[in-house]
Structure 1
Amino acid sequence: MPPSRARSTTALALLVLATTTATACTAVEHGATAGHHTAATPPAHANRQAEQLQLPLDAYASSVAETHLVEDAQDVLMRRCMSDLGMEWKALPRVAARDIEPPNLGRYGAGEADALRYGYHPRPDPQSVVRRNRAWEEREALPAEVQHAAYGASGKGGCLKTARHQLAGDTAPPDFHAFNQLTGTALETSRRAPEVRAVLRRWHTCMAKAGFDYKEPMAAAASERWKTSAPTPAERATARADAACQRSVKVVKVWSAAEIRVQRRLIEQNAGRLDEAKARKDRWLAAARRVLSQ
C-alpha cells in the first residue's frame, strides 16, 4: 500500500482541542436564524491577520509546500527505479502555490471569509489539490504487482525504500512528534492565560447579544449540529456571528500574542528534541531540492 499522504499537524491539534472543548461545554443556540445577520463582506485586514499568522513552532513543522517538495523528489527517484523494473510510474500532479492554505488559518476559530460561504465546513479543495488527491487514490488501486514493486510487502520497501535512501541516505525521515505534541500543548496552555480567558469572555458576551450561547469559538465550531453534508443556513449564521465577534474583541491578536510567549518558552525547554527534528527536516529538504534541480 502507498504511504499515507501528509496531514496538517495544526489541524490535528485544533481537532483535539475542539473535541475537548465541545465535551466540556454546553452550547445551546437560542433560536438564531440566518435572517438575523447580514452577509457583509469582512474587512480585508481581518482576513490578512489570520492568513499571515506565524508562530515560533512553525519553523519545526513541515509546511504543505515542503511536504510536496519531498514527495516530488521521491517521485523522480521512484520513476527511475520502477523504469529499471520495466514499469511505469506517474508522478503526482503539482499543487499551485496559490492553492496552499496558510498554516495557521483558523487556528483560533472561524475565519470571516469562509464563514460567509461555508460556515464551519472546510472550504472545497482547489482543482490542483483535487488532482493530487485523486492521483494518491489511483495509486491505492494499482495492480498488486506494481504496488509490490513500488512499496514491497511492508508498504515501506521496494522502490520507495530505494528512493528514500537515494534521497537522504541514512538520515531518518523527519519526525514531527515533538512539534505535534508541543503545538497542542501551546494552544491549550495559552487558552488558559488570563488575557485569553478575558477575551473569550468578551467573545461569549458578543455572541450572546447575537442570540448564541457558546462558551468559546472551539465549542461553536465543534457543535454536533454542523455534521451535515453541506453548510446549513443556521451554521452560516452562527459562523458569521462567531467570526464577527472574534474580530470585534480581537481574539486572534490577543490569543496569538499569548501563544507566541508560550511557544517560545516551550522551544527553550525542548531545544534538543526540536533542533534534531529540524536538522533532519532540513537535510531532507536540501536533498529534495538537489534532485529536483537536476
Structure 2
Amino acid sequence: MSPSRARATTALALLLLATTACTAAEHESTPAPHSPPAFRQAEQLRLPLDAYASTMAETHVMEDAEDILMRRCMAGLGMEWQPLPRVDARDDEPPNFRRYGAEEAEVGRYGYHPRPDPPSVVRRNRAWDEREALPVEVQRAAYGPSGKGGCRRTAQRQLVGDTAQPDYQAFNRLTGKALEASRRAPEVRDAVREWRTCMTKAGFDYPDPLAAASNARWQTEEPTPAERATARADMTCQQSTKVVKVWSAAETRIQRRLIGENAGPLREAKARKDRWLAASRRVLDRGDG
C-alpha cells in the first residue's frame, strides 16, 4: 500500500486544543453588520520553531524530487510512474494559519470553514487518490511489500544515502507545549478578556477565539448565517483587541526558551531536514532529463 500523502507539519490539529474550553451559547440577534477588512496577520505569522519543521511548500519539494527519481526507477522495471502535479506557490497555506483561532480573510463568505482548496491543490490530492488505486504489481514495485521499500526507497537512497527521513517529533511536542503555555501568559489572558468583552457586546459568548472557532455547531457541510455572523464579530474583536499580536509575541518568547532547553534534538532534526531539502532542490534544479 502506498504511503499516506504528506500533511503540513505545523499541525492544524493544534486547533483541537480549543476543545478543552467550554463553548457557551451565542446570541445571534445582533450579528456584526459588516465584514471587516481582509485579515492578513495569520498569513504573515512566523514563530521560532518554524525553522525546525517543513512548510507545505518544502514538503512538496521533497515529494517532487522523490517522484523524479522514482519515475526513473520504475521505467527501469518497465513501468510508468506519473509524478504528482505541482502545486502553485501561491496556493500553499501559511505555516501558522488558524493557530489562534479563525484567521480567515474571507470570514463573511466561509465563516470558520476552510476556504475551498485551490485548483493546483485539488489536482495533487486527486493524484494521490489515484495512486491508492494503482494495480497491486505497480504498488509493490513502487513501495515494496512492506510499503517502505521498492523504488521509493531506492529514490530516497539516491537523494540522501542512509540519512533517515525528517523527524518532527520534537517540533510537534514543543509547538503544542508553547501554544498551551502562551494561553496562560498574563498579557494573553488580558487580551482575550478584552476580546470576550467585545464579543459579548456584539451578542456572542465565548471564552476565547479558539472556542469560537471550534464550536461543534459549525460542523456543517456549508457555513451557516449564524457561523458567518459569529466569525465576522470574532474578526472585528480580534483586530480591535490585537489578540494575535499579543498572543504571538508571548508565544515567540516561550518558543525561544524551549528551543534553548531542547537545542540538541532540534539541531539534529533541522540538520536532517535541511539535508533532505537541499538534495531535493538539486534534483529539481537538474530536472528529469
**What TM-score do you get using the length of structure 2 for normalisation?**
0.96
TM superposition shift of 1:112:
4.9
Supply the distance in 2 between the matched residues of 1:232 and 1:61 (Cα, whole angstroms).
35
TM superposition shift of 1:39:
3.0
SS at match of 1:244: helix
Q: Which amino acid aligns with 1:167?
A: L
Correspondence for 1:2:
2
Gaps of 5+ in 1: none
Describe the shift of the 1:48–1:113 C-alpha distance in structure 2 as closer, same or farther (beyond 3 A): closer
Q: Which amino acid aligns with 2:202?
A: A
Supply the distance in 2 between the matched residues of 1:82 and 1:254 (Cα, whole angstroms).
52
SS at match of 2:10: helix
Q: Percent identity?
A: 73
Identify the structure with the greater helix proportion. Answer: 1
Correspondence for 1:282:
274
Q: Which 4+ stretches in 1 moved above 4 angstroms?
A: none
Give a deviation string over 1:12-47, Cα, whole Å, max 9, x none: 4423312223xxx141112x15x73223341x5xx3
Contact map agreement 2:23 2:212 (CA 8 A) in 1: no
Supply the distance in 2 between the matched residues of 1:196 and 1:92 (Cα, whole angstroms).
42
Is 1:29 aligned to residue 26 of structure 2?
Answer: yes
Correspondence for 1:131:
123
TM superposition shift of 1:50:
2.0
Correspondence for 2:262:
270
Q: Which amino acid aligns with 2:3?
A: P
Is 1:81 aligned to residue 73 of structure 2?
Answer: yes
TM superposition shift of 1:9:
2.9
Please report the RMSD computed on the Cα atoms of aligned residues, expressed in angstroms: 1.3
Contact map agreement 1:109 1:243 (CA 8 A) in 2: no
Supply the distance in 2 between the matched residues of 1:112 and 1:243 (Cα, whole angstroms).
8
TM superposition shift of 1:11:
3.2
Supply the distance in 1 between the matched residues of 2:279 and 2:24 (Cα, whole angstroms).
49
Give a deviation string over 1:127-180, Cα, whole Å, max 9, x none: 000000000000000011101111111111111111111111010000001111
- 1:76-115, aligned counterparts within 5 Å? 76-115=68-107
Give a deviation string over 1:67-99, Cα, whole Å, max 9, x none: 000000000110011000000000000000111
Supply the distance in 1 between the matched residues of 2:249 and 2:215 (Cα, whole angstroms).
27
SS at match of 2:258: helix
Supply the distance in 1 between the matched residues of 2:23 and 2:12 (Cα, whole angstroms).
23
TM superposition shift of 1:4:
1.3
Aligned with 1:208 (options 200, 214, 229): 200
SS at match of 2:106: helix
> Which deviates the most, 4-13 or 178-187?
4-13
Is 1:253 aligned to residue 245 of structure 2?
Answer: yes
Between Structure 1 and Structure 2, how many residues are aligned? 286
Supply the distance in 1 between the matched residues of 2:97 and 2:248 (Cα, whole angstroms).
12
Q: Which amino acid aligns with 1:3?
A: P
Correspondence for 1:122:
114
SS at match of 1:116: helix
Contact map agreement 1:74 1:164 (CA 8 A) in 2: yes
